[in-house]
Amino acid sequence: MARWYNDPGLRRLVKERKAGDLSRREFLARLGGTAAGAAAVSFAGAGPARAQKKVVVTTWDTEPNPSTRAAMKAIVEDFHKLHKDIEVRAEGMGWGDMDRKLQAAMAAKSPPTASHTQTYVVTSFRAKGLIEPVDDIVKAIGEDKIFPSVLRWLKYPDGKYWGITHAWGAEILGGRGDYLAGTGVNPQSWKTWDDWLRDLPKLNKAPQHYGLSLAGIPFFVNEDVYMWTGANGGSLFDAKGQPALESPQVLGMLEFWKKLKPYLPPGWASHDYLETLSAWATGKTAQVLMWGRTAGYIDQYAPPDKRNPDVFQVWPKTHGPMGKAPLTQFDNEPWVIYADAPADEKAAGREFLKFFFKPENYRKHCDSVPVHILSIFKSDFQDPSYLNHPERKRWKPWLDAQLKWVEMGRAHPLLVCNPSDMLVPWIGDVAAAPILADMVMAVVERGKDPKAAAKEASDKISRDIIGKAKG
């Protein structure tokens, strides 16, 4: 605590107080500001750095798991060795926390320097002037080194990139291979929703296990709404960005969901996403819509002899009667730079992100959750040192399935059924609101007529989101 004496401001304040030049009230009032600044510096042990003012870069990412935090910490420490004038504070948090914190920060015009976000959020933020292009970062990384299917969702009609993906993944349909015995089901033959519905009863042995597990929380219901609408040849928005929920394709999606309901756990509407993964890992469900991170749940909950892709297989997604090809979700979470952050912090943040994407650093990030955080670089998928990671080797069919989606071009970001949907300015607001999920629940759980539910949802989007956006 004696370090406070090294601060000239505090020393002068105490001297004035002792000399009687300051009243107690004045001393206390000035002490608050002076002492807080001095304490922050002294407790941080940054005495020597006071002579060299550091630019503080704040990054918020959505990978709070311990292994990714450790990787990020190592990357930041290496960056500090090369940039002694910059201090990076990298904070990991869940998506729910990120959303709330960002709202508060941006409303106060005090955002972090950079953060992860969702692709549809980039559209909304760009429309509101809240973020800046990142062409310099993409160029430094090497535009031609990145999967085109990653970059395509971040380049807007102005020709600029408005985010740079930290890692990608594609959602896959997981199925229990050990539940096929004796059923006569061959999932690899599935092409259409009718094929899937035909075989679901054979995979459903309630209450021991159910045919399919879905999450009922609004965010995850939204995922299934747009994927199945896209698989049915439709979109949630028309050419002008207005809701197109009364289209035959969306109504067909709602009717399809009603037909799935008998094969879902009875409490599915209250299940969150992670519950569906543990249900699959523990054998309570034959199928689940999942991501690479599910491998961790299998290791945690499944019997040791079953922790392999022969049991936990990838089965094909199917398309609806009005569609020609299935659609899956592309998890393409980009880093964005916030326009309201101070200029020096933004410049330093860009330097950090260029460093982050250097091969030796980026590999640490990807290896932290190997089957889920997939590299944006094409070359890594030809690189034995990347592919031979034990987890990537073990779950190779999952990796191959995700790559195939990307190569097919039918992996789209959330709510983007058609590529043009990316430009709908309020797509992020629609994604955050529970309107689409309420529509599904009204039809599937409360028996409402799909047309009436779709109309009600359309009216709410028009009034509560688009109407407010224009106001």
Partner 1 sequence: MPSAALVLAFTIFPVAYNVWLGFHAKHSLRATSAWVGLDNYAQILADTDFWRSVWLATEYAVASTALQIVAGVAGALILHRRFPGCDFLRGVALFPYMIPTVIAVFVWRWLMNDLYGVIPYVLGALHVPFMPDAWLAHSTIMLVLIILSVWTFFPFVLVNVLARLQTIPPELYDAARVDGASAVRQFFHVTLPQLRNVLLIVLLLRGIWMFTKFDVPWLLGFGGGAGEAIRTLPVFTYQRSFTYYQAGMGAALSNVMLALLLMAVTIYFVAFPPEEDHNDA
Phi/psi of residue 11, nearest 5 degrees: -60, -45
Instruction: Indicate whether 267 belongs to the interface with partner 1 (CB under 8 A).
Output: yes
Residues 6+ apart with CB under 8 A from 270: 216
Residue 305 has a CB neighbour count (10 Å cut-off) of 7
Are the C-beta atoms of 235 and 306 separated by less than 8 Å?
A: no
- Which of 37-62 are b and which e, b meaning 16 or more Cβ less than 10 Å from the residue's Cβ? ebeebbeeeeeeeeeeebbebbbbbb
Beta carbon nearer to partner 1, 369 or 433: 433
266 contributes a contact to partner 1 by CB under 8 A: yes
Q: What is the dihedral of CA 329, 333, 338, 342, to 10 degrees?
A: 170
Told to check if 441 binds partner 1 by CB under 8 A, we report: yes
Least distance to partner 1, CB of residue 446, Å? 6
d(CA 243, CA 417): 12
Q: Binding partner 1 by CB under 8 A: which of 23, 270, 379, 462? A: 270
Q: Considering only residues 164 through 193, tell me which ones interact with partner 1, judged by CB under 8 A.
A: none
> How far apart are CB 130 and partner 1 at their closest, in Å?
7
127 binds partner 1 per the rule CB under 8 A: no
Q: Please identify, using beta-carbon distances, which residue of 237 and 268 lies nearer to partner 1.
A: 268
The verdict on 14 binding partner 1 (CB under 8 A) reads: no
Task: Kindly tell me which of 75 and 245 has the beta carbon lying closer to partner 1.
Answer: 245
Q: Give me the least distance between CB of 181 and partner 1, in Å please.
A: 22
Nearer to partner 1 (CB atom), residue 301 or residue 381 = 301
Sole window of 8-16, 137-145, 366-374, 437-445 interacting with partner 1 (rule: CB under 8 A): 437-445
By beta-carbon proximity to partner 1, the closer residue of 333 and 351 is: 333
Phi and psi at 60, nearest 5°, equal: -115, 125
Q: What's the closest the beta carbon of residue 172 comes to partner 1, in angstroms?
A: 22
Say how many CA atoms lie within 13 Å of 413 toward its Cβ: 27
CB closer to partner 1, 31 vs 217: 217
Give the chain's length: 471
Select the span of 39-47, 306-314, 324-332, 432-440 touching partner 1 (CB under 8 A): 432-440
* 135 sits near partner 1 (criterion: CB under 8 A): no
Considering beta carbons, is residue 84 or 100 the nearer one to partner 1? Answer: 100
**Residue closer to partner 1, measured from CB, 84 or 463:** 463
CB of 386 to partner 1, least distance (A): 37
Within positions 65 to 104, which residues make up the interface with partner 1, using CB under 8 A? 99-100, 102-103
Q: How far is the CB of 245 from partner 1 (least distance, A)?
A: 17
From 153-161, 287-295, 319-327, 430-438, span contacting partner 1 (CB under 8 A): 430-438
Residues 199-238 contacting partner 1, CB under 8 A:
215-218, 221
- Min dist CB 62 to partner 1, Å, is 17
On whether the CB atoms of residues 78 and 306 are closer than 8 A, the answer is no
Count of positions on this chain that bind partner 1 (CB under 8 A) = 41
Interaction with partner 1 in 102-121: which residues (CB under 8 A)?
A: 102-103, 106-109
Q: Does position 26 bind partner 1 by CB under 8 A?
A: no
| Least CB distance to partner 1 at residue 220 (A) | 9
Whose CA is closest to 435, among 119, 176, 219?
219
If you search the block for the tokens 């001297």, which residue do you land on?
15
Torsion of CA 147, 149, 154, 156, to 10 degrees: 120
Judged by CB, which is closer to partner 1: 130, or 154? 130
- Residues contributing to the site for partner 1 (CB under 8 A): 99-100, 102-103, 106-109, 125, 128, 130, 215-218, 221, 265-267, 269-272, 275, 279, 284, 429, 432-434, 437-438, 441, 445-446, 463-465, 468-469, 471
